[in-house]
């Protein structure tokens, strides 16, 4: 988005004589040469032509462009029994392209179509003024008001659009569309392109981490899988056991020569969508020294075996944010709930702790601990 100074084009000039629909630009020019005002319609401006089927602009469409496009599709859809509401939805799809390009939010489809139909009705009242009264002062005032309205931007943004928009450059463009319409679309939105590029890079990095952890877990599972099940149970599982119910034997009484001595049972559990933010799981994953990617993949695998993964937030980014936020909350709670013993001993001891620059490299560092024989409290690591 860029702000460029563009001179006024004089769009939306209103004429005072009427003529039928000009089908093509060539016919309109021919009629213009024959009669000076044949290409102008009272209260509407230029006659409706095939060029009005699409909206071409370097900024948000004006009321005149939306009005001409709506009237063209209404006249075109008369043979197809297309209603005004259907035509308004068709025009809205063409206008929404400009709002999407400008990163400006748009109101609901129903309200937008109602605005288009209201504009059609208001313009129809102007064009319905009798010929004998078109030169009166009141009629000229109504025509001038309609002309001013047609030159303004057709508003489809919500009332709080500026609060919803995060890009300041887009906010400035919207303010220009509300006032002088001097802003226009630039050839390339660098800020938006960089934002999309960063988002795509994060998604690719998360996918690579997820695939790497899955491969490592699959390799470890293939090594340890032969000894997982007890041979005395004699139970065999299929690949799609997550979708099937656990079979219950008809007669659970052990028989002679039957290797199945007991039946397997399960339990139904409710898994919240923010399972990665639960303090107990965050604390356990931290104690087990699981990386956020490992925690996310493991949680996703557990949920996949018992339910729908799409209903659970199981991304690496969510696990990482939860680890940072919930971890600090746990540390703060421990400090507040810790009760100092009556008699305590202060310890200075060296421990193998991860370095500050690399979590996978350990070094001997001095720890300061206070407490008694039952419970110790870590004060800090120099």
Q: Of all helices (H) and strands (E), which one includes residue 297? A: helix 292-304
The C-alpha atoms of residue 245 and residue 53 are separated, in whole angstroms, by: 58
Q: Is the pLDDT of residue 53 over 70?
A: yes
pLDDT of residue 314: 76
Phi then psi for residue 111, to 5 deg, are -65, -40
Instruction: For residue 228, name the pLDDT band (cuts at 50, 70, 90).
Output: very low
pLDDT of residue 264 exceeding 50, the answer is yes
Bridge partners for 43 per DSSP:
none
Distance in angstroms (rounded) separating the CA atoms of residues 120 and 78: 16
The pLDDT value given to residue 157? 93
For residues 179-200, give the mean pLDDT.
76
Over residues 100-115, mean pLDDT: 91
pTM beyond 0.85: no
Model confidence band, residue 19 (pLDDT cutoffs 50, 70, 90): very low
Q: Could you tell me which residue, 368 or 230, shows the higher pLDDT?
A: 368
User: What average pLDDT does the segment 72-90 reach?
Assistant: 88
Q: What is the mean pLDDT of residues 191-200?
A: 76
Range with the largest mean pLDDT of 190-199, 255-264, 279-288 = 279-288
Look at strands 362-371 and 345-354 and give their pairing. Answer: antiparallel
Average pLDDT, the chain: 76
Contact 347, 368 (CB under 8 A): yes
């Amino acid at each position: 988005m860029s702000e460029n100074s563009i001179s006024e084009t004089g769009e939306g000039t209103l004429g005072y004589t009427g003529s039928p629909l000009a089908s093509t630009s060539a016919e309109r020019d021919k009629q213009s040469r024959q009669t000076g005002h044949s290409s102008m319609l009272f209260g509407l401006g230029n006659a409706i032509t095939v060029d009005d089927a699409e909206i071409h602009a370097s900024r948000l469409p004006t009321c005149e462009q939306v009005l001409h496009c709506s009237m063209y599709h209404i006249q075109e859809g008369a043979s197809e029994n297309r209603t005004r509401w259907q035509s308004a939805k068709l025009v809205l799809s063409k206008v929404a392209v400009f709002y999407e390009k400008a990163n400006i939010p748009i109101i609901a489809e129903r309200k937008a179509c109602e605005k288009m139909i209201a504009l059609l009705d208001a313009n129809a009242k102007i064009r319905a003024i009798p010929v004998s009264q078109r030169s009166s002062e009141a009629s000229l005032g109504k025509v001038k008001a309609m002309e001013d309205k047609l030159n303004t931007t057709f508003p489809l943004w919500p009332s709080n659009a500026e609060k919803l928009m995060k890009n300041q450059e887009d906010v400035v463009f919207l303010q220009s569309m509300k006032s002088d319409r001097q802003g226009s679309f630039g050839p390339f939105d660098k800020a938006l392109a960089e934002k999309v590029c960063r988002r795509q890079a994060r998604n690719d990095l998360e996918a690579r981490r997820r695939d790497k952890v899955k491969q490592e877990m699959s390799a470890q599972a293939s090594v340890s899988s032969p000894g997982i099940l007890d041979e005395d149970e004699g139970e065999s599982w299929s690949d799609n056991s997550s979708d099937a119910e656990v079979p219950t034997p008809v007669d659970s009484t052990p028989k002679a020569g039957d290797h199945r001595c007991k039946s397997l049972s399960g339990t139904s559990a409710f898994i919240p969508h923010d399972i990665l933010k639960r303090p107990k799981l965050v604390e356990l994953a931290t104690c087990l020294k699981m990386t956020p990617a490992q925690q996310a993949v493991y949680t996703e695998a557990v949920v996949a075996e018992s339910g729908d993964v799409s209903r659970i937030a199981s991304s690496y980014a969510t696990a990482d944010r939860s680890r940072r936020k919930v971890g600090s909350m746990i540390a703060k709670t421990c400090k507040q709930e810790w009760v100092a013993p009556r008699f305590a001993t202060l310890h200075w001891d060296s421990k193998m702790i991860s370095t500050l620059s690399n979590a996978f490299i350990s070094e001997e560092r001095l720890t300061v601990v206070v407490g008694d024989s039952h419970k110790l409290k870590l004060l800090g690591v120099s």
